[in-house]
Amino acid sequence: MNKLRMGMVGGGPNAFIGAIHRAAAALDGEIELCCGAFSRDAQQSRVFGESLGLAPDRVYDDYQSLFEKEANLPVEKRMQFVSIVTPNNMHYPIADAALTSGFNVLCDKPATLTLDECQALARRTEQTNLVFGLTHTYTGYAMVKEARQRIMNGELGTIRKVITEYHQGWLAAQVFDGNNKQAAWRLDPAQAGQSCCMGDIGVHAANLAEYVTGLRISAVLADLGRVEPGRVLDDDGTVLLRFEGETRGVLLASQISLGEENCLRIRAYGDSGSLEWHQEEPNTLLLKRGDQPTQILRAGHSYLSAPAQAVARTPPGHPEGYIEAFANIYRDFACMVSQQQGKGVDTTNPEHSPERQQISDLPGIAEALRGMAFIEQVVASDAAGCQWRSIEC
Amino acid sequence: MNKLRMGMVGGGPNAFIGAIHRAAAALDGEIELCCGAFSRDAQQSRVFGESLGLAPDRVYDDYQSLFEKEANLPVEKRMQFVSIVTPNNMHYPIADAALTSGFNVLCDKPATLTLDECQALARRTEQTNLVFGLTHTYTGYAMVKEARQRIMNGELGTIRKVITEYHQGWLAAQVFDGNNKQAAWRLDPAQAGQSCCMGDIGVHAANLAEYVTGLRISAVLADLGRVEPGRVLDDDGTVLLRFEGETRGVLLASQISLGEENCLRIRAYGDSGSLEWHQEEPNTLLLKRGDQPTQILRAGHSYLSAPAQAVARTPPGHPEGYIEAFANIYRDFACMVSQQQGKGVDTTNPEHSPERQQISDLPGIAEALRGMAFIEQVVASDAAGCQWRSIEC
Amino acid sequence: MNKLRMGMVGGGPNAFIGAIHRAAAALDGEIELCCGAFSRDAQQSRVFGESLGLAPDRVYDDYQSLFEKEANLPVEKRMQFVSIVTPNNMHYPIADAALTSGFNVLCDKPATLTLDECQALARRTEQTNLVFGLTHTYTGYAMVKEARQRIMNGELGTIRKVITEYHQGWLAAQVFDGNNKQAAWRLDPAQAGQSCCMGDIGVHAANLAEYVTGLRISAVLADLGRVEPGRVLDDDGTVLLRFEGETRGVLLASQISLGEENCLRIRAYGDSGSLEWHQEEPNTLLLKRGDQPTQILRAGHSYLSAPAQAVARTPPGHPEGYIEAFANIYRDFACMVSQQQGKGVDTTNPEHSPERQQISDLPGIAEALRGMAFIEQVVASDAAGCQWRSIEC
Amino acid sequence: MNKLRMGMVGGGPNAFIGAIHRAAAALDGEIELCCGAFSRDAQQSRVFGESLGLAPDRVYDDYQSLFEKEANLPVEKRMQFVSIVTPNNMHYPIADAALTSGFNVLCDKPATLTLDECQALARRTEQTNLVFGLTHTYTGYAMVKEARQRIMNGELGTIRKVITEYHQGWLAAQVFDGNNKQAAWRLDPAQAGQSCCMGDIGVHAANLAEYVTGLRISAVLADLGRVEPGRVLDDDGTVLLRFEGETRGVLLASQISLGEENCLRIRAYGDSGSLEWHQEEPNTLLLKRGDQPTQILRAGHSYLSAPAQAVARTPPGHPEGYIEAFANIYRDFACMVSQQQGKGVDTTNPEHSPERQQISDLPGIAEALRGMAFIEQVVASDAAGCQWRSIEC
């Protein structure tokens, strides 16, 4: 087996998410970081790339050089995909350049700054016939996959109510805005787009709701807050939801919920059962029924569905976490890229079995479009004084 | 010490809440059930009253006889207050008759069917100068009192976001509507009023939010559902909230959340701390801060505020539950009635100390009015297609 | 229905357990406190009795007067049982006097100071044919009854391992020994007997293990500590257990576990399933299997066994607590006394149905004997340098 | 930065722990698997090694060839350490051969089959001056490190009681013994040594207790069971403990606790505070005090000690799990090997800062010796009918 060769744009020093991407990519021994442009400061990029053990000639000054020079390398040496981990405003130009240069793309969400950009990106993706993956990380957890399967299998009956929540507290204090590099770009419309809270985490909660239920959000009514004085973008919000088929829902998101860490949760209520999952205790899924004891489903068990079992690296009781969920996204992406490149993967490795490839459900350009439409309509609904807005895409 | 003499209207066989009222009243040995009219069926009322050990001549055919005959008894024998535990539509006529006949009233919520009725009841209460108490039971829990104190003391700073939830599953299936006496009247507009879910449990969640934060809800935007086909009244809903002073909030309530039992929760986020409380684990209160470990406050400890300590019957680790919370409402009400009647209570009993009386915070006619206004505006907001409505009262 | 008339010895001011006994007795409206001798100080007893609303002539100077004078009252006025809530050393003389005077007895545990005394008490009980109940309160919880039923029904197969724990921290600091009335007598061999920790709480854990599994402890090996310097009695200990039929077990008990409140737990492992219960979250019972999801059994549900349903006062999700568990002991005791007295109870009250009476499983003199034998052998095992000792009784 | 080159012995197909070792080694991008002998079947080893992407000439038929041939490679290509992930009985010969051939060793626990072997291994390690690491994985968790720090800093005062538990259910049924490769060797004295349960997991619990408290176990009294009929080795056991300085303790371990997954826990009680940690929820540490609310310490926060912060890869609320804990062991080991080899690591990478190196607390040969002594004395104590045995080493 040859490892898949990855490049990276962004993710330099102090960018925690870059280190997580690299760990997730490395975890299963199937992907190798071979090049990158890690910082807008070329010198910083070089120093950092070398600290990662990269060959100096594979560390580039900027993403343009990266794509140009990698494209000129022999095919067996050249990177096979690029991971984009920059602030939001750079996602689109970089992704577009990558695709244009012939490289598959794994991109942080939201995919672009606007829905228009995203539609352009979708067209580009279609033209190039390359793989575009979007890191809706939370769909990588085994028990999220189990939740989705239980609903797809009909165990909960018709879903009638969905509550999805994502609470954080890290933007609760104004003081963060200046001191914190993360906070600075997330709260700046030029870098983050039209929304902070909904664009950063609300869109994850919306994606999780759609992924788990298999239902698409058809309309939103949003009430967004700029709780800390002086902010232009939202730092808190609630969105009433309608899903196709009249399923009702609510999405709560906040970055000013002091004391909350990364509290992403989903509850889905059907007419024959319900389920509940919390990201902070990710290896557990509660399955509820009206007239029977609640069941605690736990990762790693043989009673789980094939997709949940397929991503298990450890036996029950040996917790897997966020990096493993992220690694599942990378693994699915790697499978798709390998298939795309006509070489397949080594099927003597059970982790690359056809069974595993079949159940890939990587978020891609469709989810990117839906995410951008969600953000735009949520912002529009709030701006219109809490009016219902349809989501069509 | 003489026990306070209680009468009861409603609460006959199969009415679970009647038995809980009696247990709560009996718990502290300060109140004695002496008479009642337990059922609309006079014969059933008599049999039931005798099974409770009441003297046959103190079991009445209907509430009118109850008030008339008790009023004619000598003052030292006569009941001192009546507890009203009927379906909603009877609350107002019975409470009004009780007050008119000179009896203090402890009434289940919602106090009336309409805000108009409630305003009439408020006037009557004021005229008679009697005590009117409303069983917003959940405010009786020690840790709810602690939550309120922590916020009143300023420990959380300015409250900026409130999430209050009340999920049940007992109306999830249509089959209940016919078979279940509870369900039958709760879903019938003639008996329950203009709302099922919001009138039954949403109003508890709203009261809890106001009680804990000390802030009044100033506006609502509601999205109500009739999830089971064929229902006239709501069985599910979400309400966007504004509190005075621009605090933002959300209220989620549902009776079709299959697998949920009595899941009442509140989370309040301030600019220097946050708290979280779950009714199903009532002896615990979480206190969160951004830069310190979350604290688990537990009932019975000496580090709690005076109001939380005053209601403790057991040492830490010996759980108190729903009946004890209910008994705290009865105890506060009994204190107020005793004071009202100019006799005070025996202060040799530490449970009747002046300190304890001071901290009484019994829900009364003001909460009744606010509850009815909440229900009316929520229903109106939903009917208008999710528009903001003010609550003024 | 006439209420059962109760007297009380002990439980005066500042004795928290006395107040809990009275609340538990009152809760269901079936028992009435009619007399008592509440303190060794006659004056204090009188003042306290009056504060409880008792007639002055039914408040006695000491237990001897209580039994003598009550025995001379007309049978329809006389107390029908006495509740003994004094320090341990007084249990035996009071219980013996009560039985001798013809009164049924409900006694705090441990029943006596020594096994010899307990055997004498057992003979007396047998002679008088009166009811002797022992307040192993924790067997009163609905979910403990459910645990017992699940094992009796064979759902767990053969029980092979039992872990029972009882951790408290209230004796962790030496300073308590002097200031605290509770601590003072519990640590004094003259008042508490030969053991503090094992006699106070270890014996509860042992009883819980036998009650839940239906197996009797046949041998013990104990390692007791006197952790705080200068103590004569144990404040911490671990006991290796053998149950009849070779089931293995461990009992952990401690009163120096700083930060623990009243952490009584049991885990029982069978060859086809396991269960786990925690007293501090008493309405939940976990049922585990090797190849299926763990089930969360919750109080109040219709899927529970008859004995667990029979003690439910509230619907699911409305927590019941320690006082309710205690009230279940009182209710079972009252049923037995009523039956004993040939009058039965009013079966028009569903709480007194024959079904309910059948499932009474009140701890009595047999459990008293086993408790005393457990304490004696544990102390002997430890004194012998951790040797196995048989329990035969 | 050049990656550290690792070889592996064992860990072939179906050996779950081998895959976890490789993932843990890969996670931080600092270690590269370059060679191995993965199976006793040379052909299987070759196929498997190729599936991992290794060069065919670096996949060896057996461990002897591995060491011989790697030792002959140029120093800049040669592996720098070997990871030993075979059944227990092979640990010693392989580790001894590795050291003799000049290779650093990271070895699964227990280090050897007997204490004698372990002493020989200790002498060899000392002679060679190479690094010997032992994968007591659970010490790699951030919150275990935090627990250790809190005790070292004196926050809990003098530790007086320790309870450590490790419950699994995977050997609960006899049927596993035949079918399951894991079970087969673990229950076979020739491969597993003198103990199954204590040798496999009890020794982890003992190590955790010593690591967290900083106290050494000085004596044991053990009660071991062979619960499933026909087993030669223990599958369950309880061990009474004494630590140096008279601290009391209990160790519970079981592999027949049906329904348990990997339930490793520790509670330590000091005279000014206590703590509690559960492996299945590893990012949380409870800190208890007698007169203050319990604190929930959570991984990733800036209020944690330096060693706990140093191992954080993710912000609070993004769970890290078992593989990350394992990776922390690998990272510490890699630091020591790099330092040993006189080259240090690239300190431009913050993960290799001097600060980080200082706080390495990798389990090594001392822990190996203590583990073997623990196992031998536990087995001896049980065989002698539960007598106290000293542990001296």
Convert the pLDDT of each residue in D188-200 to its tens digit: 999 989 999 999 9
Q: Which helix (H) or strand (E) holds D22?
A: helix D16-26
Other beta carbons within 10 Å of A129: 8
pLDDT at C357 > cutoff 50? no
Residue of A nearest to C294 (CA): A296
Cβ <8 Å between B240 and A223? yes
User: Domain check: are A210 and A163 in the same one?
Assistant: yes
Q: Tokens for A43?
A: 């010198």
pLDDT-based confidence at residue A174 (cuts at 50, 70, 90): low
State the burial class of residue C190 (Cβ atoms within 10 Å of its Cβ: 0-12, 13-18, 19+).
exposed
Pair D329, D24: CB distance under 8 Å: yes
Chain C residues inside the 8 Å CB shell of D225: 161, 248
Taking 60 as the threshold, does the pLDDT of residue D324 lie above it?
Answer: yes
pLDDT tier at D344 (50, 70, 90 boundaries)? very low
Looking at residue C174, its pLDDT comes to 66
pLDDT for A180 equals 73
Q: How far is B148 from chain D (nearest CA, A)?
A: 17
pLDDT for the residue numbered D357: 47
Dihedral angle of Cα A22, A27, A28, A29, to the nearest 10 degrees: 70
Which position has the token pair 């992407």? D53
What's residue C182's pLDDT? 75
By mean pLDDT, which of B91-105, B282-296, D5-19, D234-248 is the weakest?
A: D5-19
| Facing A296 at nearest CB: one of C291, C296, C298 | C296
Give B220's strand partners: B241, B389
Residue of D nearest to C241 (CA): D223
Q: What is the mean pLDDT of residues C263-269?
A: 98
Parent domain of A119:
4-138+325-365
C284 contact residues in A (CB cutoff 8 A): none
Band the pLDDT of C186: cuts 50, 70, 90.
confident
For residues C160 and C274, give the distance between their C-alpha atoms in angstroms, rounded to a whole number: 10
Q: Kindly state whether residues A351 and A285 are assigned to the same domain.
A: no
**Interatomic CA distance for residues D289 and D274, integer angstroms:** 6
The whole-number pLDDT of residue D184 equals 83
Task: Give the three-class secondary structure for B4.
Answer: strand
Residue A355: other Cβ atoms inside 10 A: 13
Contact (CB<8Å) B294/D291: no
| Residue B155 counted as domain residue | yes
Residue A279 confidence (pLDDT) above 80 = yes
In this prediction, residue A344 carries a pLDDT of 46
Given this model, what pLDDT does residue A1 score?
63
Contact in structure between C49 and C59 (CB atoms under 8 Å): yes
Give B338's contacts (C-beta < 8 A, 6+ positions apart): B4, B344, B345, B352
Which one of C295, C302, C304 would you mutate to disrupt binding with A, by most A Cβ within 10 Å of its Cβ?
A: C295
Q: Give the minimum alpha-carbon distance from A324 to chain D in angstroms, rounded to a whole number.
A: 9
Asked if residue A235 and residue A147 are part of one domain, the reply reads yes
Token output for B170: 């007992």
**B100, part of any domain:** yes
CA dihedral B204, B209, B213, B219 (to 10 degrees): -120
Do A293 and C302 make contact, defined as CB atoms within 8 angstroms?
no
Q: Does residue B243 fall inside a structural domain?
A: yes
Task: Give the C-alpha separation, D264 to D282, whole Å.
Answer: 10
Give percent of chain A with pLDDT exceeding 90: 85
One domain for residues A29 and A61 = yes
Q: Which residues does D contribute to its contact with B (CB < 8 Å)?
A: 287, 291-298, 301-303
Task: Write out the residues of chain D at the interface with chain C, using a CB-CB cutoff of 8 A.
Answer: 160-161, 163, 169, 172-173, 221, 223, 225, 227, 236, 238, 240, 248, 250, 252, 254, 256-260, 267, 269-274, 288-290, 294, 385-386, 388
Neighbours of chain C (3+ CB pairs under 8 A): A, B, D
Lowest-pLDDT range, A64-68, C116-120, C175-179? C175-179
Stretch D111-126: mean pLDDT: 96
Tokens of D190: 């020739």
CB C59 within 8 Å of CB C46: yes
- Please tell me which residue of chain C has the smallest CA distance to A290: C301
Comparing A238-242, B205-209, C270-274, D343-347, the range with the smallest average pLDDT is D343-347
Question: A385: phi > 0 → left, psi -120 to 50 → alpha, else beta; which?
Answer: left
Structural element, H or E, at residue C23: helix C16-26
Query: Using the beta-carbon criterion (under 8 Å), do A302 and C291 form an inter-chain contact?
Result: yes
Give how far A303 is from chain D: nearest CA, Å.
13
Nearest chain A Cα distance for residue B264, angstroms = 15
Contacts (Cβ under 8 Å, ≥6 apart) of A385: B388
Give the number of domains in chain D: 2
Instruction: Count A/B contacts: CB-CB distance under 8 Å.
Output: 116
Cβ-based contacts of A293 with chain B (< 8 Å): none
Mean pLDDT of B249-276: 97
| Domain at D307, CATH number | 3.30.360.10
| Residue of C23, C28, C320 with shortest CB distance to B321 | C320
Q: State yes or no: pLDDT of B357 exceeds 50.
A: no
Instruction: Read off the DSSP letter of residue D3.
Output: P
Please determine, for residue A179, whether its predicted confidence score (pLDDT) is greater than 70: no
- Report the alpha-carbon distance of residue A118 to residue A134 in Å, rounded: 12
Query: Residue D291: which of B293, B294, B303 has the nearest Cβ?
Result: B303
8 Å CB contact between C181 and C14: yes
Same domain, D89 and D230: no
CB A217 within 8 A of CB A239: no
Q: Around B317, how many Cα atoms within 13 Å sit in the side-chain half-sphere?
A: 18
Residue B292 with chain D: CB contacts under 8 Å: 303
Interface pTM, i.e. ipTM: 0.94
CA dist A60 → A93, A389, B255, B268, D322 (Å): 17, 44, 58, 48, 35
Residue C346 has pLDDT above 60, yes or no: no
User: Is B304 within the bounds of a domain?
Assistant: yes
pLDDT digits (tens, 9 = 90+) for A331-364: 999 999 988 776 544 545 544 455 544 546 899 9
CB D328 within 8 A of CB D336: no
Measured between CA atoms, how close is D30 to chain A, in angstroms?
Answer: 8
Q: Which residues of B touch D292 (CB under 8 A)?
A: 303
Taking an 8 Å cut-off on Cβ atoms, the answer to whether A290 and B258 are in contact is: yes
Do B177 and B293 lie in one domain? The reply is yes
Q: Are residue B38 and residue B101 in the same domain, yes or no?
A: yes
Which residue of B295, B304, B309 is the best one to mutate when testing the D interface, meaning the one whose CB has the most D CBs within 10 A? B295
Are C217 and C273 contained in the same domain?
Answer: yes
pLDDT (tens digit per residue) in C54-98? 999 999 999 999 999 999 999 999 999 999 999 999 999 999 999
Residues A210 and A270 in one domain: yes
Q: What is the pLDDT of residue A357?
A: 47
- Residue with the larger pLDDT of the pair A279 and A353: A279
DSSP letter for each residue of C184-224: HHHT-HHHH-S-SHIIIIIHHHHHHHHHHH---EEEEEEEE
CB contact under 8 A, A296 and C297: no
Q: How confident is the model at residue C353 (pLDDT cuts 50, 70, 90)?
A: low
Angle at which helices C115-128 and C365-383 cross, to 10°: 170
DSSP state for residue D138 in the 8-state scheme: G
What is the reported pLDDT for D177?
56
Residues of A in contact with C295 (CB under 8 A): 293-296
For residue B273, which amino acid is it?
Answer: G
Predicted confidence band at D234 (pLDDT cuts at 50, 70, 90)? very high
**Beta strand pairing call for D284-288 and D294-298:** antiparallel
Chain D contact probe: residue of C269, C295, C297, C378 with most D CBs at under 10 A: C269
pLDDT tens per residue, range C197-249:
999 999 999 999 999 999 999 999 999 999 999 899 999 999 999 999 989 99
In the prediction, which pLDDT does B381 show? 98
Contacts of D48 (CB under 8 A, 6+ apart): D12, D13, D38, D39, D59
Residue D213 and residue D292 in one domain:
yes
* A75, A216: one domain: no
D234 lies in the same domain as D333: no
pLDDT at D333: 96
List residues in chain A touching B: CB distance below 8 A.
Answer: 160-161, 163, 169, 172-173, 221, 223, 225, 227, 236, 238, 240, 248, 250, 252, 254, 256-260, 267, 269-274, 288-290, 294, 385-386, 388
Alpha helices in chain A (DSSP H): 16-26, 42-51, 63-71, 91-100, 115-128, 142-152, 175-179, 181-186, 189-192, 197, 203-213, 306-310, 322-340, 354-358, 365-383
* CB contact (8 A) between residue B294 and residue D292: no
User: Token digits for D299?
Assistant: 């991984």
pLDDT over 50 (residue D221):
yes
pLDDT digits (tens, 9 = 90+) for A59-91: 999 999 999 999 999 999 999 999 999 999 999
Check which CATH number belongs to the domain holding B350 and give it: 3.40.50.720
B258 contacts in A (CB within 8 Å)? 269-274, 288-290
